[in-house]
Amino acid sequence: MDELERISTYVAIGDSFSEGLNDPYPDEPDRFRGWADRLAELLAERSPGLRYANLAVRGKLLRQVVDDQVPRAVELDPDLVTFCAGGNDMIRPGADPDALAVVFDDAVRRLRATGARVVIFTGFDTRGLRTGGRIRGKAATYNMHLRAIADRRGCTVVDLWSATIFNDPRAWYEDRLHLSSEGHRRMALRVAETIGLPVKESWHEPWPPLDARPDWLTMRREDLYWARAYLLPWIGRRATGRSSGDGRGPKRPTALPL
């Protein structure tokens, strides 16, 4: 029996990235699927009866993920854990990637102590994103810490910094913060490749050519819409100490078969 066939319980922890925003199920537009659900489906094809829990909640900071989700993940005695957190910290002023790495490292230590295979993620290279250039230096520093943690703790790393296929705007939802449905599909394939799970499709298949690039005026109109629809509400939540995840629980708190 190979390592993948021994996976009977898979637990995803983190924030909106792992919860699956904005990838709705076709028949349930208010319920998000996301790359982690898609990965669980791929794993279940190889290991029928796979139990899957997704503890990720949108808007959570790294410390919240570690305090609320890591103990529950340990209780579930998983064989595989995907752990991605810290992105919400990075976009806030004053984020300290060195301090965040200390918190992340202790969480990984606790997860690895269960005997689970732990998969962690570098951040995307934000240079390719229309609103991400200002945090690129901090993100790069955090990524270096994550790689060092993975080496020290024996984790698998999904390298997103070099995954330039996600630089295409079609990989992203209109809020410019979360993956689109196609982005989530490709992400599931990316993670599957990293853990050695054979799949029939390719995550880095070239995007179809665009009919035309938007002109300057169209882009400015898109920027204005984005600011009104997403940036201003985000600023309002920060100013009042609220989060998009307040009052929300995980979508799959218990490890159950799909």
pLDDT, residue 129, reads 58
Same-domain status, 52 and 117: yes
Please tell me the predicted confidence (pLDDT) of residue 131. Answer: 54
Report which secondary-structure segment, H or E, holds 133.
none
Q: Which of 216, 208, 83, 100 is nearest to 150 (CA)?
A: 83
Q: Tell the burial category of 63 from Cβ atoms under 10 Å away from its Cβ (0-12, 13-18, 19+).
A: middle
How high is the pLDDT of residue 132?
Answer: 56
Q: What is the pLDDT of residue 130?
A: 56
- State the sign of the Cα–Cα–Cα–Cα dihedral 12, 74, 64, 62: negative
Residue 9 dihedral angles phi and psi, to the nearest 5°? -135, 125
Per-residue pLDDT of the chain (258 residues), as tens digits, is: 467 878 999 999 999 999 999 999 988 888 899 999 999 999 999 999 999 999 999 999 999 999 999 999 999 999 999 999 999 999 888 899 999 999 999 999 999 999 999 999 999 998 755 555 678 899 999 999 999 999 999 999 999 999 999 999 999 999 988 999 999 999 999 999 999 999 999 999 999 998 878 888 988 999 899 889 988 988 888 788 888 888 889 999 999 998
Tell me whether residue 191 is in a domain.
Answer: yes
The CATH number covering residue 18 comes to 3.40.50.1110
Range of the domain at 221: 213-243
Give me the residue label for tokens 């938007």: 214
250 inside domain: no
What does the DSSP assignment read for 109-132? HHHHTTT-EEEEEPPP-GGGSTT-
**Do 70 and 168 belong to one domain?**
yes
Look at residue 232 and tell me if it is in a domain.
yes
Helices vs. strands in the chain: H and E counts, helices first = 10, 8
